[in-house]
Amino acid sequence: MPKKDAVLSEAVDLAREALREIAPDEQVGEHLSVTAEEDRLHTHRFAADRPGYHGWQWYVTVARAPRAKKVTVCELGLLPGDDALLAPAWVPWAERMDEQEKKELAAAEAAAAESAGG
């Protein structure tokens, strides 16, 4: 299990500042958590107060070199939280068709083949 790093854990203001590059201040909510991903690599999460994104969270991953005090922002973005509304899994059109649609499609294809061949 990675060790929690005090310097990275306290870099909440830096993480919030980095999010200003992609979101207005009013869309970045409260600081929710900080997670040690690896030694000297942590991810800060903030509530996303963005219209249409209920339950989503902003994240900012930060790191630092051994014995260095300077924190670097590695990446940032928006991820769904546990209660986020997500689109359903994509289902191919052929699998979404009901039996009547399949019969109609087969009849149309047969008629097209017959008229093309005759």
CA 21 to each of CA 3, 17, 63, 76, 102: distance values in angstroms, whole numbers, following the listed order: 29, 8, 18, 10, 50
Kindly state whether residue 69 falls inside one of the protein's structural domains.
yes
Mean pLDDT of 14-34: 98
Query: What mean pLDDT value characterizes the chain?
Result: 93
Strand partners, 57: 47, 79
pLDDT of residue 57: 98
Residue 39: inside a domain: yes
| Residue 94 in domain | no
Q: Is 111 within the bounds of a domain? A: no
Does the residue 91 lie in any domain? no
pLDDT of residue 87: 87
Residue 105 lies in a domain: no
- Residue 85 covered by a domain: no
Token pair 């989503």: residue: 56
Q: 56 lies in which domain range?
A: 6-80
Give the predicted TM-score (pTM) of the model.
0.75
The domain tally of the chain equals 1
Residue 108 falls within a domain, yes or no?
no
Sign of torsion over alpha carbons 14, 74, 61, 64: negative
Q: How far apart are CA 21 and CA 57, in angstroms?
A: 16
pLDDT at 118 over 60: no
**Per-residue pLDDT tens for 69-114?**
999 999 999 999 999 988 889 989 778 778 888 888 889 999 988 8
